[in-house]
Amino acid sequence: MTSDDNKKEGIVVEHLFKSFGRDRVLNDVNINIPPGSIHGVVGNNGSGKTVLMKCICGFMRQDKGKVYVNGAEIGKDEDFPESLGMIIETPGFLPNVSGYKNLKILADLGSRVGRQEIRASIAKVGLDPDMRKPVSKYSLGMRQRLGIAQAIMENPDVLILDEPFNGLDKNTVLKMRKLILDLRDQGKAILLASHNAVDIEELCDRVYEMEIGVPPVSVPGKNKSVPCSEMHIFR
């Protein structure tokens, strides 16, 4: 890792390209999400939001360009970011065991957190860590909250949240927004995708609009908008 890479804290995406056959989905994407900030991506289904997130997480390799997470180049220095929590698409869990047991199994794979941290993350999202109900009996909202608990349980430096409020009722959404703002204030770098304009307005410091077939358009965040030149998505 070079001295320049050490300056690339949070999430840095440089000149990212990704195509599927003849369809170019990401076209010279550039973003910089420093620690202690929330950046949002909005756009219709198929506009490239999830592809971008998968490239950042190391689940998908870009055709050209670089992705850095906390100074490490993904695919070169690390295959997957070391300190990253995520919700991408619908969270998947073992159906026949409890939420706590699901997170315990995942935590044991990394050996980074123990029982206390797992219980605390479950409680933070408003679930009971002692509940023995299997996940197959959870509502959609409960599963989504468990997904958020999974994303935060190892206290990662970076969070990738793809539609984290799906299936949540109004009161729970308000609580989860506060949780995400608290995480930002703790110094996390957060990339958020949401179809809900209020989520974007309330949470995001900067917002990127992704749309297939037309030049990118900046949209206002809570504090400021991003010039179109900072992100170029598909044409």
Domain boundaries, the chain: 92-155
pLDDT, tens digit, 9 for 90 and up, residues 23-44: 888 888 999 999 999 999 998 8
What's the pTM?
0.86
pLDDT digits (tens, 9 = 90+) for 49-95: 999 999 999 999 999 999 999 999 999 999 999 899 999 877 789 99
Cα angle, residue 61 at apex, residues 219 and 146 outer, rounded to 5°: 65
Spatial distance between the Cα atoms of 70 and 8, rounded to a whole number of angstroms: 6
Q: What is the per-residue burial (b if ≥16 Cβ within 10 Å, else e) of 178-198? A: ebbeebbeeebbbbbbbeeee
Residue 215 CB coordination number (10 Å) = 10
For residue 43, the one-letter residue type is: G
The Cα–Cα gap between 59 and 76 comes to: 14
Residues 6+ apart with CB under 8 A from 69: 10, 11, 12, 56, 78, 81, 82, 83, 84, 158
pLDDT digits (tens, 9 = 90+) for 167-209: 999 999 999 999 999 999 999 999 999 989 999 999 999 999 8
How far is CA 228 from its chain centroid?
A: 22
Which of 178, 155, 183 has the alpha carbon at shortest distance from 168?
178
Q: How far apart are CA 235 and CA 228, in angstroms?
A: 14
133-169 residue pLDDT tens: 999 999 999 999 999 999 999 999 999 999 999 999 9
Contact call for residues 189 and 158 (beta carbons, < 8 A): yes
Distance, CA of 34 to CA of 32 (rounded, Å): 6
Tokens of 188: 């996390």
Whole-Å CA distances, 203 to 36, 39, 116, 131: 12, 8, 28, 31
Q: How many CB atoms lie within 10 A of CB 67?
A: 25
Calpha distance 177→126 (Å, rounded): 13
